[in-house]
Amino acid sequence: MSPFSSCSFPVCITSPTDQRACSRKKSRTPSCLTHSTPATSRLLEPTSSLADATPATCYTPSPQPYLQRLPPLEYPGHYEVRRVSRNGGIRWHKQWVNVSQTLGEEVVGLTEIDDGEWDLYLGPLRLGRLHERTMQVEDALGRTQRRPY
């Protein structure tokens, strides 16, 4: 029983204000747990799901190896492949095209869909369309302007 609660449910942790609301309820059920907060949840009694054991005693390492670095993205042979610079752009026909700072040092692929229009991909994900006439990337919603960081 929590020292803060007048509720009969054993793990109900309420503030004095919430105690009045809890005591007005006709039945004192697990719905009283809605009053708990992250700061007071440490006061809860141990659950039976771990049979009163600590999580450290139940831990087993994953059999799947942890990769320090993801394998490089591979694109089909007909794609034009470019590495995005740290400031978020690529070189295209000796001109600078802003893609995204988020993709800095990632490899993107471009595939031609029409004369002067290229779809831009990061792996299997289509990011947008590069228009050679304007040298801008249009996203899936048709926007060419980027918000500054």
Cα–Cα distance for residue pair 31/9, rounded to 1 Å? 9
The predicted pLDDT at position 28 comes to 47
Do 86 and 135 have their domain in common? yes
Q: Which tens digit of pLDDT belongs to each residue from 57-96?
A: 788 889 998 888 888 899 999 999 999 999 999 999 999 9
The domain tally of the chain equals: 2
Gap between the Cα atoms of 78 and 90, Å rounded: 18
- The Cα 123–Cα 111 span in angstroms is 12
Among 71, 108, 113, 73, smallest CA distance to 89 is for 108
- Is 63 part of a structural domain of the chain? no
Is residue 22 assigned to a domain?
A: yes
Is 144 within the bounds of a domain?
no
**How confident is the model at residue 148, as a pLDDT?**
67
pLDDT digit string, tens, across residues 21-32: 555 444 444 444
pTM: 0.57
Structural domain span for residue 39: 1-47
Q: Please indicate, yes or no, if residue 56 is contained in any of the structural domains.
A: no
